[in-house]
Amino acid sequence: MTIHSNIFNQLKAYQLLKKLTQNPFDLTGSGSLTSERIQRLQCRTGNFRLLYATQRLDEDVLNGLQQLADETSAVEQFVMMKKGAVMNRINGYDSENRQVLHTACRDVFSDSPAEPSAARQALDELDKLKIFLDDLDQEKLRTPQGKPFTDMIQVGIGGSDLGPRALYHGLAVFQKEGRKVHFISNVDPDDAAGVLRGLDLSTTLVNVVSKSGTTLETLTNEKLVQAAYKKAGLDPSLFFVAVTGQGSPMDNPERYLRSFYMYDYIGGRYSATSMVGGVMLGFALGFDNFFEILKGANAIDLAVEEKDIRKNIPLLLALLGIWNHNFLGCETLAVLPYSQALIRFPAHLQQCDMESNGKSISRQGESLSYQSGPVIWGEPGTNGQHAFYQLIHQGTTVVPVEFIGFRSSQYQQDIEIKETSSQEKLIANLLAQSLALASGQKHENPNKRFLGNRPNSVLMAECLTPRSMGELLAIYEAKIVLQGFVWNINSFDQEGVQLGKLLANRLLDHFSGMRQDKEYDGSSQDEAGWAMLQAAGMVEGLKTKS
């Protein structure tokens, strides 16, 4: 397979779009946001619709963005990815050289999956998961004292934490009676201590998740949690399950009640629909609800094959993002869900997007001469309206916004106050913000002026359910990957995390050094590191303690 090697800012579409930036659509004019425009600039995929009349674009820009997608064969690359192409590589240099097949985790509804062997592996793990969950439900699998398991601690970090956690919060309303999940991720010992406090370990499963089986934080926390079980007189091997790569140091049935596999073709940040999310979500929500998540995600993976950007939400979101970032010069993107359940979804996107597209070289190893991924951040509305929205409306920086909303609430517990329900107030606020950011406001008092022309879009569905949660997850996964294809970067590795690990190990050597020798002095081998430890008060601290 040859990797596409387009240079983004030398594309014809780039030149065309560059010209169009001289006069981007003005959203503040009195006749700008017409009913016709709002009706026309809509796109539907799966159960979602995207309203994008409040972006700074016209049909010329849309045509240019379509050309950009076509010239870079973005959709074709996505299809190649699903079929098992080795997309995770840098041509001509040492790199991970892997397939990218998170889509296979949910390609389990068709007789002819895009990559049959990976889909087969996904089905095998789903079968194991079904048996595990049935055993729990039927109490074939019980605590040593014969009680049902009530709680699960997910021990994992990064992709083994953020995606699963976002989905768990998103779908808490669907939680099975008497089941609850907790998360330990940080190597900060207070993370584990805080979670363990007040938990009844004797009815709590622990799910340890690490693809490599060597993640520092996860192994450390596993040991810490094991110690707590032993202290409580409990045998960890009767409570611990594992999700890891086949053959990893953690792939050891003697230590775990059950083991589930993920494969090297699934990147951590894309792993929520693999067993990384499956075991925990299955425990909390039941197998059927997890299966619904997969159905939603798969529906999107299929819909992404549509090449018309006006009919493909992930592709359109990808190109709108590029328009705002590379052409209109906005450095960040706020993702603002009007749904409290999505409180951790922006944190998941921070990883999925910024770890994927925060790159400086092309897939041919050349330094980029254009911007790759933006900074992603966000909190739920309406909360944000009482916080950082001030800057979005009146700051000196333009922050593009992606709103997310649902017509119905999850719990359906609502009351009407002043003739409207809370859910209606929520949606009215969402749509009002979209309009206010776009249109702005003139005023004789300069403090009441709003410049407007703040680009934004609104992603809407009926209700946040397992199905639509799966769709939403896959919409963003696809958006991110498609942007990477257009920018011609490798969205699937993460070399940028290595240097910190290396330096951390060097600093840890100083701690062991000090522990072994009170007179230890690391300044000759590592001047900066040793000086930082001293400046931070760590040397003094340790020497006084020991």
Among positions 469-508, residues that touch its own copies (CB under 8 A) are 490, 493-508
Beta strand 416-417 with 420-421 is: antiparallel
Residues in CB range of 68: below 8 A, 6 or more apart: 11, 13, 14, 17, 319, 322, 486
In the bound state with its own copies, the residue whose beta carbon lies nearer, of 1 and 415, is 415
Rounded least distance, CB 173 to its own copies, Å: 7
Q: Which is nearer to its own copies, 148 or 529 (CB)?
A: 529
Q: Which two tokens stand for residue 426?
A: 């929520």
182 touches its own copies by CB under 8 A:
no
Hunting for tokens 């004789």 — which residue is that?
A: 444
Three-class secondary structure of residue 67 per DSSP: helix
Fill in the amino acid letter for 20: L
Binder among 10, 15, 34, 246 for its own copies (CB under 8 A): 34
Which is closer to its own copies, CB of 124 or CB of 432?
A: 432
Residues of this chain, 296-325, that bind its own copies according to CB under 8 A: none
Q: How many helices (H) and strands (E) does the chain have?
A: 19, 13
Task: State the Cα–Cα distance between residues 438 and 418, nearest whole angstrom.
Answer: 28
Find out whether the peptide bond into 382 is cis, omega within 30 degrees of 0.
Answer: yes
The residue (of 287 and 338) whose beta carbon lies closer to its own copies is 338
Instruction: Say which residue the tokens 């009919």 belong to.
Output: 311
Fill in the DSSP letter of residue 88: B
- With CA atoms as reference, report the closest residue to 392 among 463, 469, 335, 461: 335
Of residues 251 and 366, the one with the C-beta less far from its own copies: 366
Stretch that binds its own copies, among 7-15, 55-63, 308-316, 417-425 (CB under 8 A): 417-425
Which residues, numbered 261-290, are part of the site for its own copies (CB under 8 A)?
268-269
Q: Which residue of 15, 109, 252, 528 would you call a contact of its own copies, by CB under 8 A? A: 528
CB of 113 to its own copies, least distance (A): 30
In the list 59, 124, 462, 521, the residue contacting its own copies (rule: CB under 8 A) is 462
Amino acid at residue number 288: D
The DSSP-derived string for 23-85 is S---TTSTTTS-HHHHHHSEEEETTEEEE-TTSS--HHHHHHHHHHHHHTTHHHHHHHHHTT-
Among 254, 419, 517, 519, binds its own copies (CB under 8 A): 419
Contact between 413 and its own copies by CB under 8 A: the answer reads yes
CA 272 from centre of chain:
9
- Judged by CB under 8 A, does residue 94 bind its own copies? yes
Q: How many residues bind its own copies (CB under 8 A)?
A: 165
If binding is defined by CB under 8 A, does position 511 make contact with its own copies?
A: yes
Q: Which residues, other chains included, contact 497 with Cβ-Cβ below 8 Å and sequence gap of 6+?
A: none
Contact status: 238 vs its own copies (CB under 8 A): no
Find the shortest distance in angstroms from Cβ 14 to its own copies. Answer: 16
223, containing H or E segment? helix 216-231
Work out how close the CB of 131 gets to its own copies at its nearest, in angstroms, rounded to a whole number: 30
* Subset of residues 337 to 396 that bind its own copies, contact rule: CB under 8 A: 338-341, 347, 350-351, 354-355, 357-361, 365-368, 370-377, 379-383, 385-396
From the CB of 79, what's the least distance to its own copies, in Å? 26
SS3 of 148-206: CCCEEEEECCHHHCHHHHHHHHHCHHHCCCCCEEEEECCCCHHHHHHHHCCCCHHHEEE
Applying the rule CB under 8 A, the residues between 133 and 152 that interact with its own copies are none
Does residue 126 sit in helix, strand or coil? helix
- Which two three-digit tokens encode residue 148? 């049902």
Residues 128 and 260 sit within 8 Å (Cβ to Cβ): yes
Q: Which of residues 61-90 bind its own copies (CB under 8 A)?
A: 90
Identity of the residue numbered 302? L
**Residues involved in catalysis:** 355, 386, 501
Shortest Å, Cβ 315 to its own copies: 20
Closest CB 34 distance from its own copies, rounded Å: 7
Instruction: Tell which one of 26, 188, 235, 288 touches its own copies (CB under 8 A).
Output: 188
Given the DSSP bridges, would you call strands 42-45 and 48-51 parallel, antiparallel or unpaired?
antiparallel
Site string for its own copies, 440-459 (x = CB under 8 A): xx---xxxxxxx------x-
Closest CA to 294 of 489, 104, 501: 104
Nearer to its own copies, 173 or 232 (CB): 173
* Among the residue ranges 97-105, 283-291, 313-321, 532-540, the one whose residues contact its own copies (CB under 8 A): 532-540
How many whole angstroms separate alpha carbon 74 and alpha carbon 83? 14
